[in-house]
Amino acid sequence: MIRPLSIRRRNALKAIVATLPALAIGRAFAQDKPATVRIGYQKSSTLITVLKTRGTLEQKLAPLGVKVSWHEFASGLPLLEALNVGSVDVSADVADTVPVFALAAGANLTYLAQEAPSPTAQAIVVKADSPIRSVADLKGKRVGFAKAAGVHYLLIAALEKSGLSFKDIQPAYLAPADGRAAFERDAIDAWVVWDPFLSAVQRQAKVRVLADGTNLAQYQRYYLASTPFAQARPDVIKVIYDALADSGKWVKQSPKDAAALLAPVWGLDEATVEQANGRRSYDVRLVQPERLQEQQAIADTFTREGLLPRKVNATAVPVWKPVL
């Protein structure tokens, strides 16, 4: 009587043991194929804001069994830091300077997409009655801007063109909201900022533009993903890329509709949003090695100014490409 029971137990144990590799593989597969994509973005992330507001990605990713979670950041550098440590999987557009800082810190990032240049979408502004008449007049002055943002490079490039260096000004690292407040109360002498914040201050206050990015900084914004996620879910990356490209076309082809959608989200009037969008290309394209040359120029400039801890090869980075 006992023997058959022992046989049954042995058989049951064998069956359980036999299932363990399959269970382990199943768990590994689930871990390797995350069912949620965590997207980090900023308030100025136009195309991602359009997709988020319209629920586009939720709809397009549902057939893949993938959900979306949204995470807002005040600026690009903390966003990419979160991407690097695994707190988010995909980054909405960040200025062309931000990946350089992330790479210098050893971030494991994959370039997902790039927006064509929008040099006039960022500028150095002063109040209309300011005695500062040119970039050269910024010597010794307190200048506010977001650290590692595209405006950081624009400021350095503009200073160098005027015969100055970054050490000739007093930098005040401020997020856009804090920069606007400091600018209004004269805590800074000049403010370097990008759209839609630039358009907002131009329309709501009396300011002068000392210089924008024309012939100084191309201002190509980048979308990035953590390399592990890009490798695990290329299907999700493809859906996001296509949605971004379609969204960019819609914003440019339907400027008033886009402004009406974005205005309440950004807390701005529609005319300001439309002006800001008019200066951005929103031309989403694949990243090509030859289009990363300014990334290297940015890296070299920041290294020379002592702002990066080490030299960066900004063109030797993982670049996502769709499988044809």
pLDDT above 50 for 189: yes
pLDDT at 13 (0 to 100): 33
Query: Do the domain assignments include residue 225?
Result: yes
187 and 134 assigned to the same domain: yes
Query: Do the domain assignments include residue 76?
Result: yes
101 and 231 assigned to the same domain: yes
Query: Do the domain assignments include residue 310?
Result: no
pLDDT above 90 for 22: no
Q: Residues with Cβ < 8 Å from 57, sequence gap 6 or more?
A: 37, 39, 51, 68, 239, 240, 243
Alpha carbon 265 to its chain's center = 18
Which residues share a beta bridge with 181? none
49 and 190 assigned to the same domain: no
Q: How confident is the model at residue 57 (pLDDT cuts 50, 70, 90)?
A: very high
Provide the residue range defining the domain that includes 174.
120-212
Counted domains in the chain:
2
93 and 137 assigned to the same domain: no
Query: Do the domain assignments include residue 321?
Result: no
81 and 195 assigned to the same domain: no
pLDDT at 62 (0 to 100): 97
Per residue in 83-103, pLDDT (tens digit) is 999 999 999 999 898 899 999
Q: Record the tokens describing residue 220, joined without a space.
A: 């190509």
Rounded Cα distance, 89 and 57, in Å? 14
Query: Do the domain assignments include residue 9?
Result: no
Region 14-29 average pLDDT: 35
Region 314-323 average pLDDT: 90
Query: Do the domain assignments include residue 265?
Result: yes
Per residue in 273-291, pLDDT (tens digit) is 999 999 999 999 999 888 8
Helix H or strand E encompassing 142: strand 142-145
pLDDT above 70 for 20: no
pLDDT at 306 (0 to 100): 87
Boundary of a domain, candidates 193, 212, 231? 212
Report the percentage of the chain scoring pLDDT > 70. 90
Query: Do the domain assignments include residue 295?
Result: yes
Q: Record the tokens describing residue 294, joined without a space.
A: 């300014």
Q: Record the tokens describing residue 44, joined without a space.
A: 């100025």
pLDDT at 124 (0 to 100): 98
Region 294-323 average pLDDT: 90
DSSP code of 134? S
48 and 113 assigned to the same domain: yes
Boundary of a domain, candidates 159, 186, 212? 212
171 and 156 assigned to the same domain: yes
245 and 107 assigned to the same domain: yes
139 and 204 assigned to the same domain: yes
pLDDT above 60 for 44: yes
105 and 127 assigned to the same domain: no
Region 146-159 average pLDDT: 93
Rounded Cα distance, 45 and 102, in Å? 19
Query: Do the domain assignments include residue 91?
Result: yes
Residue (of 64, 84, 65) closest to 73 by Cα position: 84
90 and 230 assigned to the same domain: yes
124 and 111 assigned to the same domain: no
Q: Record the tokens describing residue 118, joined without a space.
A: 């929008």
Q: What pTM value is reported for the model? A: 0.83
Per residue in 103-152, pLDDT (tens digit) is 998 899 999 999 999 999 999 999 999 999 999 999 999 999 998 889 99
Provide the CATH number for the domain around residue 65. 3.40.190.10
Per residue in 214-269, pLDDT (tens digit) is 999 999 999 999 999 999 999 999 999 999 999 999 999 999 999 999 999 999 99
